[in-house]
């Protein structure tokens, strides 16, 4: 039986690695992209050349109706979703003094409301079928906070509460809900930070003295999605090169 995995934001740095890993393991992988993303077809063509047969659906994860329509379309065209990876996210960093409602809302809607928006139409089916995996991609900064990220840290920390509460509700039906909190991973989101800031403020704080690799996070997603991880639920797993431990 081929399992279907839906990865939000699968065309981004981390999401792409997750899509490739799951596809390599034999999942039927479906990803979402922002309705405004003009490079989606290009991405699908590039993945096709690598022999990965992905499907992609437009979806604004921050918008409840868009998420419901997207999931309904995926289920109609591809089938019921066994694994949901809530990965799409954005940053809008600024000190709290400068933080305005627009940038607060954008991050809360995209990073936290999205988890509700996508999980809502998927979860009941998992419960009915008696198997499911919900994997939420949070962040080290949801655990420890970060200067200039009151919005992002709040949204990512919110994911942890959501994860633990939902894990309790669906545990008896063999549906697991977990959060992964990556540290700094070498994707576009992080490479946009000026090199001198990366070196002096970030890499210098990582005991392993390097950024993480998207493939390292993807490997953890694959484990949480697997049958072997059936007893692991309500957890938050940090993957950060030793930068933050608790
Ligand atoms: P990217 O910016 O490379 O990718 C983000 C993805 O999110 C894109 O594919 C984008 O899709 C999608 N996205 C953003 N807004 C929306 C929206 N409204 N609707 C649908 N899709 C949307 O970031 P990363 O790959 O680095 O990050 C992935 C996740 O990992 C994020 O949640 C991030 O917070 C988290 N994370 C990343 C870390 C890192 O070091 N990189 C560290 C800790 C956590 P599109 O391009 O189509 O707009």
- ipTM score: 0.99
CB 15 within 8 A of CB 31: yes
- Based on the residue annotation, tell me whether 152 is a catalytic residue of this protein: yes
> Does the domain spanning 4-183+216-239 belong to CATH 3.40.50.720?
yes
Please state the rounded mean pLDDT for residues 160-182.
Answer: 98
Q: What is the pLDDT of residues 134-160, one digit of tens each?
A: 999 999 999 999 999 999 999 999 999
Q: Which two tokens stand for residue 167?
A: 């894990």
* Contacts of 213 by beta carbon, 8 Å cutoff, 6+ apart: 17, 185, 186
Q: Among 89, 213, 239, which is best to mutate for testing ligand 1, by the most ligand atoms less than 8 A from CB?
A: 89
Q: What is the predicted pLDDT for the residue at 51?
A: 84
33 within ligand 1 shell (Cβ under 6 A): yes
90 within ligand 1 shell (Cβ under 6 A): yes
Please state the rounded mean pLDDT for residues 42-51.
Answer: 90
Which burial class, exposed, middle or buried, applies to 41 when counting CB atoms under 10 A from its CB (0-12, 13-18, 19+)?
exposed
Please state the rounded mean pLDDT for residues 46-67.
Answer: 93
Average pLDDT of the chain? 96
158 within ligand 1 shell (Cβ under 6 A): no
**190 pLDDT higher than 90:** no
141 within ligand 1 shell (Cβ under 6 A): no
- CB count within 10 Å of CB 118 equals 28
Q: What is the predicted pLDDT for the residue at 53?
A: 79
Marked catalytic residue, from 27, 33, 64, 152: 152
Question: Ligand 1 atom 44: the closest Cα is on which residue?
Answer: 139
Which burial class, exposed, middle or buried, applies to 131 when counting CB atoms under 10 A from its CB (0-12, 13-18, 19+)?
middle
- The closest alpha carbon to 7, from 62, 64, 61, belongs to 61
pLDDT band at 52 (very low <50, low <70, confident <90, very high): confident
37 within ligand 1 shell (Cβ under 6 A): yes
Please state the rounded mean pLDDT for residues 202-208.
Answer: 96
* Contacts of 157 by beta carbon, 8 Å cutoff, 6+ apart: 138, 142, 143
**189 pLDDT higher than 80:** no
How many Cα atoms occupy the beta-carbon half-sphere of 46 within 13 Å? 8
Q: What is the predicted pLDDT for the residue at 193?
A: 86
Per-domain boundaries in the chain: 4-183+216-239
Please state the rounded mean pLDDT for residues 5-20.
Answer: 97
Closest ligand 1 atom to 90 CA = 14
């Amino acid at each position: 039986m081929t399992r279907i995995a839906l990865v939000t934001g699968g065309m981004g740095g981390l999401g792409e690695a997750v899509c490739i890993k799951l596809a390599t393991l034999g999942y039927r992988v479906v990803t979402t992209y922002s309705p405004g993303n003009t490079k989606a077809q290009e991405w699908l063509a590039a993945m096709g050349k690598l022999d990965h047969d992905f499907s992609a659906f437009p979806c604004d994860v921050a918008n409840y109706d868009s998420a419901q329509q997207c999931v309904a379309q995926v289920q109609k065209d591809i089938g019921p979703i066994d694994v949901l990876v809530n990965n799409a996210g954005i940053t809008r960093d600024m000190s709290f003094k400068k933080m305005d409602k627009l940038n607060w809302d954008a991050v809360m809607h995209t990073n936290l409301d999205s988890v509700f928006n996508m999980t809502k139409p998927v979860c009941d089916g998992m419960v009915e079928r008696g198997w499911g995996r919900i994997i939420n991609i949070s962040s080290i900064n949801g655990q420890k906070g970060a200067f200039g990220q009151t919005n992002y840290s709040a949204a990512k920390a919110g994911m942890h509460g959501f994860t633990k509460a939902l894990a309790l509700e669906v545990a008896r039906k063999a549906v697991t809900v977990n959060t992964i909190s990556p540290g700094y991973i070498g994707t576009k989101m992080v490479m946009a930070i000026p090199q001198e800031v990366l070196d002096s403020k970030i890499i210098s704080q990582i005991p392993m003295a390097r950024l993480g690799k998207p493939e390292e996070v993807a490997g953890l997603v694959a484990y949480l999605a697997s049958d072997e991880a059936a007893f692991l639920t309500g957890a938050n797993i940090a993957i950060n090169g030793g930068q933050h431990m608790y």
